[in-house]
Amino acid sequence: MSVRHVYRKSNRSPEETARLRADRERYQREKPTPEQLLAEGGHANFVPMGELLQLHQVALQLKRERERQRMTLAELESRTGIDQGALSRLENGKNVNPTLDTLYRVAAALGKAIYCTVQDAPQPPNELTPA
């Protein structure tokens, strides 16, 4: 059985492609902070790295639980309705935007639950008051 890769050509205009390439090069060169990006505008959907890493950590825990239960990705697909390829990307940290809904569905299929807590957010450096 051969593996079939599906590649979808993005429907970006040449101007949009050039803008994205310039942004990527700038980010690599200047390494702007999250605060700088948010101050510039146009980054409303910004996800802090810590939050993203937490989601990937939950996905890894779910992978370990699936393996502990000796469940295949095919079985998990039938229980969640999520494609095996998407499940694999989720488990291996290749999904760049895992959602809580997806993680909840996988957890439920494994007989597990994910609990979230609410905590005080750290204050941005420019709002800290001197002691």
Q: What is the pLDDT of residues 61-91, one digit of tens each?
A: 999 999 999 999 999 999 999 999 999 999 9
Residue 127 tokens read as 């709002």
How many domains does the chain contain in total? 2
pLDDT of residue 32: 83
pLDDT of residue 129: 53
Read off the pTM. Answer: 0.60
Q: What is the pLDDT of residues 14-28, one digit of tens each?
A: 898 898 899 889 888
pLDDT of residue 40: 80
Residues 26 and 63 in one domain: no
DSSP designation for 42? S
Radius of gyration, CA atoms only, the chain: 19
How far, CA to CA in Å, does 80 sit from each of 65, 66, 72, 92, 102?
15, 13, 12, 18, 9
- Within a domain: residue 117? no
pLDDT of residue 128: 52
- Within a domain: residue 58? yes
Using 50, 70 and 90 to split pLDDT, how confident is the model at 52?
confident
CATH number at residue 85: 1.10.260.40
Angstrom distance (rounded) from CA 98 to CA 94: 9
- Within a domain: residue 104? yes
